[in-house]
Structure 1
Amino acid sequence: MNTVKVLGLVLAFALCYECIPIQLEELGEDIEDHPIECQNIAGKDNMDTYHKRQDCEIVFRNEYVKWSEKMLADESFVKDLEVLNITEDNSNQSEGGISRPKRSAGSNECPVFNEEYLKNNKAWKQRSISPWTFFITYKANRVPQRMVDTRCLCDGCIDIRTLTEDVDNLISVRLPLTVPVTKNSKLTTEEVHLGCTCAVAITEDA
C-alpha cells in the first residue's frame, strides 16, 4: 500500500470519526465514579451525555456545593430557614466601592446585644459585630436547584463600646465566593456568600 493510499485512509477515518457510535465506556466513563446527582443525566447522544456528566461532576465535587448539599439534608438545619425563589441575579455591589446590602424583608432583624441575647446565642455568627444568618436560594433552571447562602442581620455593625448598631460609620457586607453551577444545562458560575464582615462605610465625599 503506497503512501497516497495510507494518507487517504487516514483522512477518510478522520472525516468519519464523528459518525462512529461512541460508548461511554470507551471514553473512560464509569457511572459509579460520578456523584449520585450526576448518574442519571442523559444527553441527546453519548458524547453529549458524557460532557453533561462532566459538567455536573465539576459542580458537585466543589467543596462549598458538597457542604451545602450536606446541610440541606439536615432537617434540624433547614427547618426554620427561609427559601428565596430567585429568578434574577441581584448584585449588592455598586461600582466604585462597597454599597449597603438590603436587609431581608423577613423576621430577621439586627439583634440587641444585651445580656439576655448574649446568654441565649452562643454561635459566633450570632455574636459577631456583623451578625448573619443562613437562608436557601432556589432556581428551577439551576443545578443544584437549592443552595445555602447567608445574609447580614444588620445594615451597620455592632459598636463594641455601646453594643448597639452603628449605621452612620460602619456597614455589614457579605463575603462572596464563586462556585460552579449549571444553568439551562450550561456550566457557569454563581456567587454565594460565606458570612458577613464589618467595613467602614463609603460616603459620597470619600
Structure 2
Amino acid sequence: MGFVQILPLLLSSLFLVHSLEYEKECRKPIPEEHLLKRMKMPPLQILLSQKLKNFHKAIPPCPKWTPRFLEQSDLKDRSLSPWTFKVNHKKGRVPEAIVEAVCLCRGCINPSNGTEVHYSVSVPVYGSLLVLHRKECPGGQVRYHKEHVRVAVGCTCAAPVLI
C-alpha cells in the first residue's frame, strides 16, 4: 500500500464526534469498533486495527533492485527510498494498532545500478492521525480524550542535513 493510497485514510480519520473531544466525566466503556465508526475511521483502518493486533514482522534489509524484483514489486519497493510497514500497538488507544512506514535504507537506491548510495538519505514522510486515549476511572468506567499523532506513511530521498 503506497503513500497515495494511505494519505486519504489518514486525512479521513481527522474528524471526531464532538462528544468525545475531551471528556471530563467517566462513562461506561464503548467498544473499539463503535469508537472507530464514530471517529469516521475508514473501513480499511477499522479492518487493519482489528486484524493486526497480534501482527509482528521482521524489518527486511535494504533491497537490491533487479529487473525481476521491479516487475513484481509495489511502489513502496520500487521507490528510491523503499519502505515497509510495521504495526504500532498501544493498549488504551483507539485504534490500538496503527500501521506505520519504516524506511529500509539509510541512503537511497541509485536507479542506474539498483544499489544503495549514501550521497542522499532516506527519510520518513509523516501524516497526522487522530486517536483516542482511554483512561480508566473507578467502578470500571472510562474517560476518553483525543490526540493527533504523527505517523510515518512512506519514505522519500532527501539531501543530507550538513551540520
For residues 148 and 141 of structure 1, what CA distance do their matches in structure 2 show?
Answer: 16
The within-5 A match list for 1:32-71 is 44=26, 56=35, 60-63=39-42, 66-71=43-48
Instruction: Give the Cα–Cα distance (whole angstroms) in 1 for the partners of residues 36 and 88 of structure 2.
Output: 21
Task: Identify which of structures 1 and 2 has the higher relative contact order when contacts are C-alpha pairs closer than 8 Å and 6+ apart.
Answer: 2
Distance 2:59 2:125 in 1: 22
Pair 1:147-2:98 in alignment: yes
Name the amino acid aligned to 1:82: H
CA RMSD in angstroms comes to 3.4
Look up the match of 1:110.
62
Q: Distance in 2 between matches of 1:149 and 1:107?
A: 12
Query: More strand per residue: 1 or 2?
Result: 2
2:56 to 82, 86, 98: 82
Unaligned runs of 5+ in 2: 1-15, 136-143
Query: CA separation of 1:164/1:108 partners in 2, compared to 1, >3 Å: closer, same or farther?
Result: same
More helix by share: 1
Q: Distance in 2 between matches of 1:199 and 1:58?
A: 37
8 Å contact 2:49–2:96 — kept in the other structure? no
Q: Which has the larger radius of gyration?
A: 1
Give the total of aligned pairs.
129
How far apart are the structure 1 equivalents of 2:36 and 2:73?
A: 37
Contact 1:82 1:136 in 2 (8 A): yes
Quick one: distance in 1 between partners of 2:149 and 2:39?
A: 14
SS at match of 2:81: coil
Cα distance between partner residues in 1 of 2:160 and 2:89: 31
SS in 1 for 2:124: strand
- Alignment TM-score, normalising by the size of structure 2: 0.64
For 1:59 and 1:165, how far apart are their aligned partners in 2?
A: 44
Name the amino acid aligned to 1:148. Answer: V
- Which residue does the alignment assign to 1:190? 149
Change (3 A) 1:59 1:165: farther
Q: Does 1:129 align with 2:80?
A: yes
TM-score, L = length of structure 1 = 0.52
3-state SS, counterpart of residue 186 of structure 1: strand
Please show how residues 149-164 of structure 1 align to structure 2 within 5 Å.
149-164=100-115
Give the SS at the match of 1:125: helix
Q: Percent identical across equivalent pairs?
A: 26
Could you list the runs of 5+ residues in structure 1 that have no partner in the other structure? 1-33, 84-105
